[in-house]
Amino acid sequence: MKRRLLLLLPLIGFLVLGAFLYMGLSINPFDRDSALMAREFPDFELTTLEDPERVVDASLLEGEVTLVNVWGEWCPTCKQEMPQLLDLAEDGVRLVGVDYKDTREKGREFLAEFGNPFEVNIFDPEGSLGFDLGVYGAPETFLVDRDGIIRYHHTGYIRPEDVSETILPEVEKWR
């Protein structure tokens, strides 16, 4: 009897492993939660894209629920998701952009061509704010609540469905 149980161990072990492998099939390895969840938006001191004289810091994001979108002129998907961001702006969501690793010219060109849903754009040519946010590609979007805490993170392209299915509900939740 004991021997029989011993002989069944490999099968049982394999079934457990197989179950995990099966679960692995529906997991996207790139779908990672931001390391900054439930933490304060990192502090920074940068100028805005619109006005080189105006310096902003993390207090910019306090007081109201804000959607921070990291974008760049070089990023093709950022162009594709503009309509969704414009929709969100129309729905009354406060959007702040981070122009990541661009020149001022390129950034302004981008907004002129594809639209500007942002209340203001933080100019981050070196990518220092992006780095502190743990951004490794664009676009990335962060939901920051009234107290400046990051509550939701979306990596990559925002589909039209995402707007109504996840982003708006999250905004509402933290309002």
Interface positions with other proteins (CB under 8 A):
3-4, 7-8, 10-11, 14-15, 17-18, 20-30, 32-36, 74-78, 80, 101, 127, 131-139, 155-157, 159
| Residue among 10 and 92 whose Cβ is closer to other proteins | 10
User: Which of 54, 4, 58, 41 minimizes the C-alpha distance to 142?
Assistant: 41
| Residue among 4 and 105 whose Cβ is closer to other proteins | 4
| Residue among 1 and 53 whose Cβ is closer to other proteins | 1
Q: How far is the CB of 23 from other proteins (least distance, A)?
A: 4
Query: Torsion-angle region of residue 148: left (phi > 0), alpha (psi -120 to 50) or beta?
Result: left
DSSP state of 58: G
Q: How far is the CB of 162 from other proteins (least distance, A)?
A: 10
| Residue among 94 and 123 whose Cβ is closer to other proteins | 123
Two tokens at 78? Answer: 């950022």
Peptide bond into 139 cis (omega under 30): yes
What Å distances lie between residue 19 and 13, 15, 27, CA to CA? 10, 6, 13
Q: How far is the CB of 27 from other proteins (least distance, A)?
A: 5
What Å distances lie between residue 90 and 15, 81, 118, 123, CA to CA? 51, 15, 11, 23
Q: How far is the CB of 6 from other proteins (least distance, A)?
A: 9
